[in-house]
Amino acid sequence: MPIYNPPLRDMKFVMQEMLNVGQLTEYEKYAEADTETLDAILEESAKFASEVLTPLNVVGDHEGCTRNEDGSVTMPTGFTEAYHQVVAGGMMGLSESPEYGGMGMPSIWSTATGEMQSAANMAFAMYPGLTGSAAKAIGIGGTDEQKKTYLPKMTAGTWTGTMNLTEPHCGTDLGLLKTKAVPQADGSYKLTGQKIFISAGEHDMAENIVHLVLARIEGAPAGVKGISLFIVPKFKLDKDENPAERNAVSCGSIEEKMGIHGNCTCVMNYDDAEGYLLGEENKGLRVMFVMMNEARLGVGMQGLGQSEVAYQNAVLYAQDRLQGRSLTGPKNEAGPADPLIVHPDVRRMLMETRAFNEGARALIYWATMLEDLEGLHPDEKFREKCDDYLGLLTPVIKGYLTDKAMLTTLDCQQIFGGHGFIEEWGMSQFVRDMRIALIYEGANGVQALDLVGRKLARKGGRALMSLNGEIDTFLGENSDNENLSEFMDGLKTSKQKLTEGTMWLMQNGMTNPDNAGAGSTDYMHMMGLTTLAYMWAKMALVAQAAIDAGSNDEFYTNKIITGRYFVLRMLPMMDAHLAKIKTGAEPLMALEAAAF
């Protein structure tokens, strides 16, 4: 049975020592977000993740969700009880507004608890996760009345939420969607159409399910300009706003899929279902995209979560399993063989995963901290910077982190040999579950195009210029730190190569946009590596300062060892990506489409 121990020490290092999360208490909004409360919440959340959610992970995979003949869905054993614990503990409202019953703590706090839930049980964590996303959309686009009706229930978790975008013929290209909404005399709409791949679409854990549905109002313009967003509750509400009559929305079937079996991914049928406009007519995508950007950070976190839990189990196996002898002579002479961890190639896979995970954690937490500061900081320029960075980092966190987490999770599975391929050890599930993270909320190729086609160019390239300036300042301040020269050199070189890639794309993407498209994924990886190099330089700085101040905590020396692996062993990929970008589109586009 796989284990999961939330890496509290590392989480706190990133939050407190690197990002100084305590600075948030200086703002009135977060005056109560002190260290003691944070510690208590992290401890409690860790206990829940490791003791309740972790054992249920394999149960969810094995049993899956069952659609009954009447269209209702039965959850895997234990899921409903665990979900009720989430509700009873108020866990879903941690960073939600007190106005609707939330605790009002910083987003970065729920990033940490979210990482734990996602690592422990990705399929389960999607139920509260999607509810939070849907609530966010209502918070952005809803009327005061809508907020009052839905947000308290969704903040508590007694009602859950879903996002209904995809249809059989349209995924990325939402302009093609056909679900129609017919206005009714009372101001409501009747929705008709079919949505597919709807995560958490139907279940019996909550009193109601709030579906957010993209649809086209009769007579609306074609394409993306005619798409509106609707609230369609599973149960319509009576005059006291309690769930009453069943709405004409139902689960037609549950998709059979590669992983996340514990999450019911539904085909949802809307047959004149009653819905209520959320936000303005024909401007549904605006609301959806604000919310989706946040969801994308969550998907990056799912990648980290699976990579982390896979790593922890691979470490235990590598320390435990005796097989072969060290190339430099026996390390466990009394035993029949040495543990796997003596073998450099096993170390390579473990160190790659470890260095990636710790860097990814810093990057995701930093982004969420920027989110928290964006709404608070007194300096407009600073708030603008937060927004710029978030725009740039979102596709990188979604796309690069999940691309790379797929590989590290596969590596961790590989360490188990044949035992990794059988389901008994749980490593297969981590790989199968995490596979979806590269696909949903915008496939990673779409993220790369968003980065290269939109985010780089936005406001004259201000975001990247600003980030480059920040890195230059950082390097200027720390270039004389002899203990950290590898980190600073690595960052400096990465930044130079990224700049070279940026210039190439700008110059050659103008003449032929396919040149930008052809280099987009490689560029996204370069941006990922460079931002991780920045995170690692910052973490090394903090760790070195602690060592210089006399700390004997091995955490700090290990942090630097892990970071050195990143710099020496992972940054060399920069050259390969740059070389590929510079070939342009021609080698990809030369073959006639029909000749494939």
360, 516, 535, 541: residue in contact with a copy of itself (rule CB under 8 A): 516
Indicate the pairing of strand 180-183 with strand 208-217.
Answer: parallel
11, 297, 518, 539: residue in contact with a copy of itself (rule CB under 8 A): 518
Q: Does an H or E element contain 493, and which? A: helix 485-511
Residues 526-555 that bind a copy of itself (CB under 8 A): 554
Binding piece for a copy of itself, criterion CB under 8 A, among 47-55, 77-85, 150-158, 582-590 = 582-590
Q: Helix or strand or coil: residue 232?
A: strand
CA dist 434 and 128 (Å) reads 18
The interface mask with a copy of itself, positions 400-429, x = CB under 8 A, is: ------x---x--xx--xx-xxxxx---x-
Of 321 and 538, CB closest to a copy of itself: 321
Of 458 and 569, CB closest to a copy of itself: 569
Are 264 and 254 in contact by the 8 Å Cβ rule? The answer is yes
Q: Helix or strand or coil: residue 321?
A: coil
Are 268 and 232 in contact by the 8 Å Cβ rule? The answer is no
- Counting contacts by CB under 8 A, is residue 334 touching a copy of itself? no
Residues 252-291 that bind a copy of itself (CB under 8 A): 255-259, 265
Alpha-carbon distances, residue 302 vs 90, 163, 212, 297, 480 (angstroms): 22, 18, 22, 9, 37
* Least spacing, CB of residue 447 vs a copy of itself, in Å: 10
- Counting contacts by CB under 8 A, is residue 339 touching a copy of itself? yes
CA dist 412 and 346 (Å) reads 9
Residues 369-398 that bind a copy of itself (CB under 8 A): none
Could you tell me how many residues of this chain bind a copy of itself (CB under 8 A)?
A: 98
- Counting contacts by CB under 8 A, is residue 2 touching a copy of itself? no
Residues 557-576 that bind a copy of itself (CB under 8 A): 558, 561-562, 564-565, 568-569, 572-573, 575-576
Q: CB-side exposure of 540: number of CA atoms within 13 Å?
A: 30
Exposed e or buried b for every residue in 466-504, given b needs 16+ CB within 10 A?
Answer: bbbeebeebbeebeebeebebbbbbbbbbbebbeebbeb
Of 31 and 258, CB closest to a copy of itself: 258
- Counting contacts by CB under 8 A, is residue 583 touching a copy of itself? yes
Residues 166-205 that bind a copy of itself (CB under 8 A): 166, 169-173, 175-176, 196-197
Helix axes 107-120, 35-47, angle to 10 degrees: 20
Residues 127-166 that bind a copy of itself (CB under 8 A): 166
CA dist 341 and 348 (Å) reads 10
- The catalytically annotated residue of 441, 477, 482, 486 is 441
12, 190, 283, 347: residue in contact with a copy of itself (rule CB under 8 A): 347
CA dist 271 and 372 (Å) reads 41
Of 480 and 596, CB closest to a copy of itself: 596
* Least spacing, CB of residue 171 vs a copy of itself, in Å: 5
- Counting contacts by CB under 8 A, is residue 103 touching a copy of itself? no
Alpha-carbon distances, residue 291 vs 118, 164, 180, 280 (angstroms): 19, 13, 22, 15
Of 148 and 331, CB closest to a copy of itself: 331
CA dist 340 and 325 (Å) reads 8
Among 508, 156, 570, CA closest to 359: 570
Of 355 and 467, CB closest to a copy of itself: 355
- Counting contacts by CB under 8 A, is residue 351 touching a copy of itself? yes
Of 94 and 346, CB closest to a copy of itself: 346
- Counting contacts by CB under 8 A, is residue 333 touching a copy of itself? no
Looking at residue 70, the DSSP 8-state letter turns out to be T
Q: Three-state SS string across 501-525, please? A: HHHHHHHHHHHCHHHHHHHHHHHHH
Of 457 and 589, CB closest to a copy of itself: 589
Q: Does an H or E element contain 556, and which? A: helix 554-565
* Least spacing, CB of residue 346 vs a copy of itself, in Å: 7
Does the active-site annotation cover 281?
no
Looking at residue 342, the DSSP 8-state letter turns out to be G
Of 392 and 427, CB closest to a copy of itself: 427
* Least spacing, CB of residue 439 vs a copy of itself, in Å: 6
Alpha-carbon distances, residue 118 vs 94, 317, 396 (angstroms): 16, 22, 19
* Least spacing, CB of residue 272 vs a copy of itself, in Å: 25
Of 320 and 477, CB closest to a copy of itself: 320
458, 513, 551, 553: residue in contact with a copy of itself (rule CB under 8 A): 513
* Least spacing, CB of residue 420 vs a copy of itself, in Å: 7
Structure tokens at 515: 């040149």
Residues 199-258 that bind a copy of itself (CB under 8 A): 255-258
Are 520 and 448 in contact by the 8 Å Cβ rule? The answer is yes
* Least spacing, CB of residue 448 vs a copy of itself, in Å: 6
- Counting contacts by CB under 8 A, is residue 594 touching a copy of itself? yes
Residues 424-463 that bind a copy of itself (CB under 8 A): 424, 428, 431-432, 435-436, 438-440, 443-445, 448-449, 453
Structure tokens at 299: 């998907």
Binding piece for a copy of itself, criterion CB under 8 A, among 11-19, 47-55, 372-380, 518-526 = 518-526
Residues 290-329 that bind a copy of itself (CB under 8 A): 315, 318-319, 322-324, 326-328
Alpha-carbon distances, residue 2 vs 25, 50, 123, 242, 357 (angstroms): 38, 10, 16, 41, 18
List residues with catalytic annotation. Answer: 441
